[in-house]
Structure 1
Amino acid sequence: MNAAPLSWAVVDVVGHPFHAIWTPEDGAIRAGGFATEGDPGATSLMTRLEALDPELASRGLAASATAEGAVPDALRAYAAGDITAIDVLPVAQPETPFRGDVWRALREVPGGAAVTYTELAALAGRPSAVRAAASGCANNLVALVVPCHRIVRTDGGLGGFLFGTEIKEALLRHEGVLL
């Protein structure tokens, strides 16, 4: 029996279209990210998902976006100012042991807060693995919900963000981290 296509939604978050892809049978978000000038349809999400989980990606996307339900409702609530609304959404992505620890640590950083890459490495249980923690952020397939945007450099700089520092800064302002 063939599995159903992956569900998807697009919700405007901080003035940018955020795309979420999830498995309809369990509601777990499998990929999430922002459309950018260089990738206006956020097609790179499926490309990244295909590279990490070809079998899952082979299900393809549903013919139309899902307008209602847990994922789009939580994303709209987050966009409207309830920065905790996305905390309850389940996520699943292929992981190595340490990257899984990094991603779980990221989900523990509350909205309205930011930690440094050094602090993230400590939260993930390997304080000396700062570069590996940063790599975990860079390879996170479920941006926003696994909030890699809440990680900043020790010197106070924003650091990198796959979807651009403009969006990272807007997210941190939205959450009240930056004024």
Structure 2
Amino acid sequence: MLKYQTMPTPAGPLTIVVGETGGVRAAGFTERLDELLPLIHPALSGQAVPDDDIGPVTGHVRSYFEGDLTALDAVAVEQRTGGEFIAHAWQVMRDIKPGSPVTYSQFAVMAGRPAAVRGAAAACARNPVALFTPCHRVLRLDGSLGGYRWGLTVKRLLLDHEAA
């Protein structure tokens, strides 16, 4: 059984879906659960019920927005994909430090495949746990924002928050 909660943040409502052990399986800046559930790998999916207590995750999110930019590092995520590179890239993405965004090319190098710039971009696009696996910290080569599932306004707000 999955549990979810939507909480207010400075970037807008953040809905978080957790599994039985409290690991985040999906997260996004939306109030619509139906936008998140399809992002979860079938082996990790299930029925989700609202719950006011999804564990310590919400406290870590509050701490992050109150200025403890490393608070999200303590949150476990449960991500799975059919591809080995994307799974590895998601792990590497969690090592991108707040306030130190990288380009898609740099991210591909960090993930061990310098020529896989499109693969790096795909890892960002397919990321089911926004904020916790910080795809918002990956930018275009020219430093522009690129894309973000939850909107460029949210991406800019997150990057500005981390740069402060």
TM-score range, shorter chain: over 0.9
Aligned partners of 1:115 and 1:151 also within 8 Å: yes
Q: Which amino acid aligns with 2:136?
A: H
| Cα 1:42/1:174, change in 2 over 3 Å | farther
| In structure 1, C-alpha distance between the alignment counterparts of 2:64 and 2:149, rounded to whole Å | 20
Q: Which runs of 5+ in 1 are unaligned?
A: none
Moved more, 168-177 or 138-147: 168-177
2:23 paired with 1:34: no
Task: Name the SS for the 2:25 alignment partner.
Answer: strand
Deviation at 1:100, TM superposition (A): 1.2
Query: Would the aligned equivalents of 1:7 and 1:62 in 2 still touch at CA under 8 Å?
Result: yes
Q: Which has the larger radius of gyration?
A: 1
Number of residue pairs matched? Answer: 163
Q: Structure 1 residue 87 and structure 2 residue 73: aligned?
A: yes
Instruction: Find the partner of 1:20 among 5, 16, 29.
Output: 16
Q: For structure 2, list consecutive stretches of 5 or more residues without a partner in the other structure.
A: none
Corresponding residue number in structure 2 for 1:136: 123
Question: What is the root-mean-square deviation in Å for CA atoms of aligned residues?
Answer: 1.6
> 1:39-92 CA deviation, whole Å, 9 max, x = no partner?
x4242101322xx31x5433x12243326x311111111121211111111111
Query: Is the 1:11–1:75 contact (alpha carbons within 8 Å) kept by the matching residues of 2?
Result: no
SS at the partner of 1:43?
helix
2:11 and 2:123 map into 1 onto residues whose CA distance is 26
TM normalised by structure 2 equals 0.92
Aligned ranges 1:87-126 → 2 under 5 Å:
87-95=73-81, 96-126=83-113
Identical pairs, percent: 36
Give the conservation status (yes or no) of the 8 Å contact 2:28–2:36. Answer: yes
Change (3 A) 1:157 1:13: same
Q: Which runs of 4+ in 1 moved over 4 A?
A: none
Q: Output the TM-score relative to the length of structure 1.
A: 0.85
Retained in 2: the 8 A contact 1:8–1:22? yes
3-state DSSP class of the match of 1:142?
A: coil
Matched, 1:77 2:63: yes
Task: Measure the CA separation in 1 of the matches of 2:132 and 2:26.
Answer: 10
Q: Quick one: distance in 2 between partners of 1:14 and 1:57?
A: 28
Deviation at 1:130, TM superposition (A): 0.2
1:141-152 matches, cutoff 5 A: 141-152=128-139
Alignment-derived partner of residue 2 in structure 2: 6
Which whole-Å CA distance do the structure 1 matches of 2:33 and 2:4 have between them?
A: 12
Which SS does the other structure have where 1:10 is aligned?
A: strand
